[in-house]
Amino acid sequence: MKNILITGGAGFIGSNFVHYIFKITEDYYVINLDKLTYAGNPENLAGIGEKFPDRYKFIHGDICDNELIEKIFDEYNPDYVVNFAAESHVDRSILYPNLFIETNVLGASTLLNIAKKKWINDFESKRFLQVGTDEVYGTLPEDNPEIKFTEQTPIQPHSPYSASKASADLLVQAYFDTYQFPSLITRCSNNYGPYQFPEKLIPLMINNAVNNKELPVYGDGKNIRDWLFVEDHCDGIFTVLMNGKIGEVYNIGGNNEIKNIDIVKNILGYLNKPETLIKYVTDRLGHDRRYSIDASKIKTELGWEPKYKFEEQIKFTIDWYLNNKKWMDDVISGDYQKYYNLMYGNR
C-alpha cells in the first residue's frame, strides 16, 4: 500500500479528492493535513475515519510548521504529496495579501524543502504534485474565443492570490530544474460541486437566492470563466500524479466557457427565483475578464478528458446544497459572516 500525503484535504477540492481516492482504489493510505482555517471543514469528510480506520489519518496542522512536516515525513514516509493547501479566494487576497504569501508561498517552500531532504536518495519512486490555477496566466481577450491558456502561456498574475500561486509554481519548477526533484504541476479552471465554501460564486448565489437575499454580481457580470466539475478535476489530478511526466505542467479544463451573469441567471431559473434579486456591485480590483483552458496536452499525452456535462452537474450541485442545508448553515457563521459583510455589506 502506498502512502499519500494530502495537504489542505478538508477544503473544497482537497476533500473531494480524499473522497475520490477512497471511491476508486483500495491501494492508498491517506494522510490528510489541514490547518482548518475558515474554509477547511471537518464535516466535508464526516465518516471517512470511521469507514476507513486502517487507511486514513487526519492531522490538524500548518504546512508552514517545519517541525510538524518533518515529523509527518519521518512517521509516514509518503510516496506521494498532493498540495492543495492554499488561501484561495481572490477577494480575500486583496484584503489580506500577507496571509496568501505565507501559506501559498512559504508553505509550499516548507513542503518542498522537507520532501527533498527526506526523498533525496529515492526520487525515482516519489512524486510531488502542486495543485495550481489558471489564474496565474492572467486574462484573455473576449473577442477572440480561439485563444486559450496553454502550458506555454506566459505567467502574468493580476491579484495577490494568483501572484502567490504563480510563485509557488515557480518554486516547484525550480526544484525540478535544480535538483531533479520529482515534481508535477496542474493548473485548473474554475471548479464547482459539493463542499465549496460559500464565498465562491455558485454556492454564494445558491444560498442567497434560497434565502431571498440580493445576489451581488461584480461589474457588468460578463466576466467569462471555464467551469470544471470538481470530480473531473480530481480525476485529472490523479491521472497526472500517476502518469504525468516529471517536471511538466498540465492544464485541466472543463471546456465550459460561461459568463458569470449567465451562471447566476441559471441558478435563479432552477430555483424559480426572480432576476430582480441580482444586485450589480463595484467590480473587483484587477478583475480578469476571461479565462479559458486548452487541455489538449493532458488529453493527448495521458488520455484524460472531463466526463461530466455542465448542464447536468450544475443541477446536481444546486440540489446538493439544497439537500445539505445544515452544512451550509453551519459554515454561514462566524468569520465568514464578518467577511461577507466587509465585502458586500456597504455596496
The residues assigned a catalytic role are 134-135, 161
- Burial (CB count <10 Å: 0-12, 13-18, 19+), residue 305: middle
User: Contact 255/320 with Cβ under 8 angstroms?
Assistant: no
Instruction: Return the closest-CA partner of residue 37 out of 11, 19, 66, 17.
Output: 11
DSSP 291-309: --B--HHHHHHH-------
Q: Are 203 and 267 in contact (CB under 8 A)?
A: no
Q: How far is CA 135 from the centre of its chain?
A: 11
The CA distance from 154 to 252, in Å, is 17
Nearest to 187 by CA among 295, 39, 301, 309: 295
CB burial of 205-233 (b: ≥16 within 10 Å; e: otherwise) equals bbbbbbeeeebbbbeebebbbbbbbbbbb
Return d(Cα 304, Cα 301) in angstroms, integer.
8
C-alpha cell at 243: 502518469
Amino acid sitting at position 37: T
Q: Name all contacts of 317-321 with Cβ < 8 Å and 24+ positions apart.
A: 317/192, 317/193, 317/194, 317/202, 317/229, 318/206, 318/267, 318/270, 318/271, 320/193, 320/194, 321/194, 321/203, 321/206, 321/207, 321/210
What DSSP element (H or E) covers 164?
Answer: helix 160-179
3-state secondary structure of 33: strand
> Residues 172, 235: contact at Cβ < 8 Å?
no
